[in-house]
Structure 1
Amino acid sequence: MQHVLVIGAGTMGSVHASSYAKMENVELAGIVDIRKQIGGPLAAKLNTNYFTSFEEAVTQLPRIDVIDVCLPTYLHKKYVLKAADLGKHVICEKPLARTKEDAKEMIGYCKEKGVKLFVGHVLRFFPEYVKAKEIIDKNEIGKPAMARTTRGGIFPTAWNDWYADYKNSGGLVLDMIIHDIDFLRWCFGDVKRVYAKSVLGRSFNRIDYALLTLRFENGMIAHVEGTWAHEGFSTYLEIAGDNGIIEFDSKKEKSIYAQIRQKENGGGVAVPSSPLKENPYYQELAHFMECIENDREPIVTAEDALKAVEISLAALESIETGKVVEIKPSLTHA
């Protein structure tokens, strides 16, 4: 049984803590949050210990095996290193870090300390996206050539309004579009170059919008759209191959839709699918727990998370310079 300490009781910390509380092979050892009015009630609801500081928790708890870091992005490095110093395995919410240098340091430090580092790129556990990758891998739509994704909603609010601090959050691209970047890289491999535009620097007043064009090493092209300018959260995915197309729209009842061209008569056939409605966050964390128990490689590695950070930062550089940004091959392979 793994004893898990969750650091941060915000939106993601609450989701993670609630997931651990439901797992049979996991003990939710405690929750840390400096906000008593947030952390206290959550801990009481989940029948676990509450602490106002990391130091208080690690001093008082008799056993901790895993530390789950659900803090603002700019605090990830500090607490991942603290956890590694204690010899604890670490789960860190995405993005892994605000800078590529910090992400590399975190990965290297955890390896040096002999602890596992997992990063919460949860899109790989959403059934619709898993199904889309299965369709691609089975070559059902032929050779993919183009992809289009959209993700967005209202500007998020959180502790200290940290999302609005671009230096700390990386804004829309690093915090939210990184979901689709990781998924597309999972499907199509490494990205060669990025060109991006956004409203950042022009009207970043609790409104943000960005559009990225990714060129993959295999020639695939993807248009990735993100917005913090709309009411209601929604996502959209479209992947076109030379034998069909995949479409997913979270605003529609049908979860995922594949149109495959039939060679016999040149017509098309709809292939709808209704994946099980499982909690992807629970599935993700249960997978990480199983990887710890059995010393297995996770579906998404820390190196994958580093790649996603690199691509996101390349997009931010393109936004700032107005130029295409080439992504140099990394010495660290995912």
Structure 2
Amino acid sequence: MSDTDFDIFLVATPGLEAPLAAEARDLGWHGAELQPGGVTIRGGWDDVWRANLMLRGATRVLARVGSFRALHLAQLDKRGRKFPWAQVLCPDLPVKVEATCRASRIYHAGAATQRIERAIAEELGAPIAADAAITVKLRIEDDLVTISLDTTGPSLHKRGHKEAVAKAPMRETMAAMFLREMGYDGSQTVLDPMCGSGTFVIEAAEIASGMAPGRSRDFAFQDLASFDAARWDAMRAAVQPRKVAAGRFFGRDRDAGAIRMSRQNADRAQVADLCDFDCLAIDKLQAPDCAPGIVIVNPPYGARIGNKGPLFGLHAQMGEVFRSRFAGWRVGIVTSEGGLAKATGLPFKPTGPIVAHGGLKVRLWQTGPL
């Protein structure tokens, strides 16, 4: 396979494909194409590494390393054995294969998986293991077999510097894309009045600083045959954070434990000096003494955390605080309950797309400047 010419599929949180495509274009992948479930870019292995290191909205990066037609299992077996596995996989590292079949004469995913596992084991010599860190993804659709490698490993929302997590946390990948949907570009003040473990505030501070989201972790591509450690080290070293003025990223929460977690997480992410966390209930919230910016909040919506009754009162109070004390600020609320958003009485724009969030369907409700 060519090093400079294959499809790279960026997996998105369902509903957040559009902001991920915009982020990819901003990072220089001008041909980024929206697909169901993600975004396709083209490039070589350096692009795969950079996508894992730099993209805030992708959940994983799949390298589509080859394809061929197969009308039956014997053909899949024969062509699977001819595939240049040694160019992409290391013979001494275990591999697992995951297959899906759609609208194809080969319809049994289990049988397809076995044929490709056997091809890899017998032609390359790599061991097959259910718990392998390297995953070969086999997709058979309309009799076309596409072979992809999961180059990421654990999901990209696991940035590698967040240990403390609150109840019903917002994933970092989603937080970054909701901030982008609010027009956040790193220059505005950001405040989260119910910050939980600090995800929105920390992401905002990292974006402003130009930090690489994947700087604190390892990736599956480091165990592939195409990996070049010296080139990877140079790529990581080239990402130099910008100097950012402190006092622009605010997290508030009535739970002292949440504030403690947020501070610890910000410290590990190396943005503690940029973030201001304080234990404060919503009725005591005041706008910081600075130019109006963005309020973004993922309040409790009852689906996970207890019962909805008292939440209507909480949302009404939140709306009153924003209207009376946050003139000029734009507000974004992420919720699965449209009724709760409306209870704030805020003048929302048309809502964004439905976004899958841990079994729930949430939306971003946002206002213009209040």
Q: What TM-score, normalized by structure 1, do the two folds share?
A: 0.30
**Quick check: which has more Rg, 1 or 2?**
2
Work out which structure has the larger RCO, using CA pairs closer than 8 Å and 6 or more positions apart in sequence.
1
More strand by share: 1
More helix by share: 1
Q: What TM-score, normalized by structure 2, do the two folds share?
A: 0.27
